[in-house]
Amino acid sequence: MRGVAVRAFLPCLVLACFWVGTTLVAEGREGRRPVNEKTLLRPAPAELCALLDDPEQVRTMDGLRFMLEMSCGRLDSSVPIPGSPPGFSPGFSPGFPPGSSTRGVEGEVDVRVNDDTGGSERSQSETTIAKNEVTHTVCSAFNDLCELLCPDGGGGLIGFSRSTDDGATWDDRGAAGAESFGDPSIVWRRSDGFFYLSSLRSGGGAAVYRSTDDCQSFSLLAAPETLVADRGFLAVDNAPDSPHGGNLYLAYRGSSGIVARRSTDAGATWSSEVVLGSGQGAWPTVAANGDVFIAWLSFGPNHVVSVPVMRSTDGGVSFTAVTDVITDKTLPRDGAASVSCKTNALNGGIRYLPTPQLATTDDGALHAVTSYDPDGPGTGDVVDVFYRRSTDSGATWSPEVRLHDDATDRDQYFPTLAANGNTLQATWYDRRLDPENLLQDTFRSISTDGGLSWGPNERLSDVSTAIEFDPGALPCYHGDYDQGLVTEDRATIAQWSDDRNTDEAADVFTETGEASSVFQDGFESGDTSAWQ
């Protein structure tokens, strides 16, 4: 055996992982899935692999599940490919061929971010983005199954791309790290001008990578967590007047629940974890005064969810609870899809975890987007996207605004939220154009007054696309989040993935714009009162 360091208490016989020639292979009940020779696939310890035997744990896993099934040699062992029960058929909508419908925002073109190595049909998803405000380089990272599985892939599950013209063109830079294993999150740190990227780490835990050459390459910097980590996200304190300037914060689901760690030395070392609560999908943000806020999804009985928020005023040393963004809302789930996927899923077989996103603006306000079923199970809409703001650090929240103006009961899901100055951009996937509620587009809305009002909905995607599942990914997986960007000069960059290239799986796209351009044709006020 070569290439895999096997722990004494976890022999490779248990892992069912081995080398064939120069290709590492993980073997499960459905056969072999080769990992290219540049990928460092670490064996997971037995206590981590045992999590796959707990259906409740599996149901709420994000990227952790894929990593474990690979590192534990148990690929696709617990959830079938969508297709049952009878009558449930994911994917194409009858009468709507892939790539159908018309252009998105007039004058704007969707720009492809990734370039598959060797042209292989592998998916890219779960996008994250940040900008160097000195050089103006934009850095995008994403799950990239080609880097993991393609023979010419660079190794690991995360790819990244670089733009030096504010997203007008992109240069795919390949793999971020040989042991990266999904759930990417990227920030730019003003204190040193470097990009930092967090991810899951093969075999268990979380890794942080750093780029010191303006998003041309990344190198492994630290492993803040060495055992259980799922759906981690980074935040950085770039506020000029913050007493904690330069701090990095990582929030994720660990063995103790939702936890946070901080680094005060540019990511070289990380604090012990601070336990915040239970749930999934933590999302941190930092206010102009250095306060740290972390929201996440909390599960209740009978398919209800809440979004708790914690606040730190001492640079992440301690946290206290503020008011929930939402409490006891109905979990979005299509009945047939959820039965088939054995997890919460939307129509078409997309697994769905309605995690929140937070942002802060220069006026001191805290902002949140959420998604839930507004009508309760079995009636009306299954999932809509909502916005709320707080002007007192989360003590109270404004009445919620339904961000989309779709009058049908079709799905809106996976909302994003980005801010700079007092400008906010919210985006989401949207099925309003398909009567069958299967084809998806990407829409957005802009606020230029700190969330007091919102502009009209804009369709960003140039085409409506069907859902295609990459056979190299877990069943029902089509990404779990995206991230957009508002730059220092109020330009906006929306980012998402879709399946318009029918000879391939999902690709990453961006569309740029100016925030002021959306307030036109009588919508200058951005009045959203009619959307309720």
User: Could you tell me if 254 and 334 lie in one domain?
Assistant: no
Q: Average pLDDT of 214-238?
A: 96
Whole-number pLDDT of residue 527? 42
Number of folded domains in the chain?
Answer: 2
- List, for residues 264-275, the tens digit of each pLDDT value: 999 999 999 999
Domain match, 349 and 292 both: no
**What does DSSP say about strands 304-306 and 309-312: parallel, antiparallel, or unpaired?**
unpaired
pLDDT score for 516: 60
The predicted pLDDT at position 346 comes to 97
State yes or no: cis peptide before 85, omega within 30 of 0. Answer: yes
Q: Are residues 495 and 358 in the same domain?
A: yes
Residue 304 lies in a domain: yes
Give residue 504's pLDDT: 63
Taking residues 477-485, what's their average pLDDT? 96
Domain assignment of residue 359, yes or no: yes
Paired sense of beta strands 158-163 and 485-486, if any: unpaired
Cβ pair 296, 281 in contact under 8 A = yes
Residue 284 tokens, joined: 């941190």
pLDDT above 70: residue 66: yes
**Which of 271, 304, 322 marks a domain boundary?**
322
pLDDT at 74: 81
Contact present, 258 and 278 (Cβ < 8 Å): yes
pLDDT category of residue 494 using cuts at 50, 70 and 90: very high
The answer to whether residues 249 and 289 belong to one domain is: yes
Same domain, 373 and 255: no
With respect to residue 179, please indicate whether it lies within any of the assigned structural domains. no
Tell me the pTM. 0.88
- Checking if the pLDDT of 25 tops 80, the result is no
Per-residue model confidence (pLDDT) at position 118:
55
Q: For position 378, what pLDDT does the model report?
A: 85
- Domain end position, chosen among 269, 287, 322: 322
- HSE (CB half, 13 Å, CA atoms) of 271? 18
Q: Both 361 and 273 in a single domain?
A: no
Indicate the range of 109-118, 232-241, 409-418 predicted with least confidence.
109-118
Same domain, 349 and 484: yes
Q: What is the pLDDT at residue 59?
A: 81
Do 498 and 406 belong to one domain? Answer: yes
**So what's the pLDDT on residue 520?**
40
Average the pLDDT over 195-217 and give the result: 97
Bigger pLDDT: 114 vs 516: 114
Give me the mean pLDDT over the 71-78 stretch: 68
CA torsion, points 29, 203, 183, 384, in degrees to nearest 10? 50
Average pLDDT over residues 108-120: 79
**Domain end residue (candidates: 276, 295, 322):** 322
**Is the same domain home to 485 and 389?**
yes
Domain with 341, as residue range(s), is 329-527
Q: In this prediction, what percent of the chain has a pLDDT beyond 90? A: 73
Q: Which residues, at least 6 apart from 213, have a Cβ–Cβ distance to it below 8 Å?
A: none
DSSP letter, residue 119: G
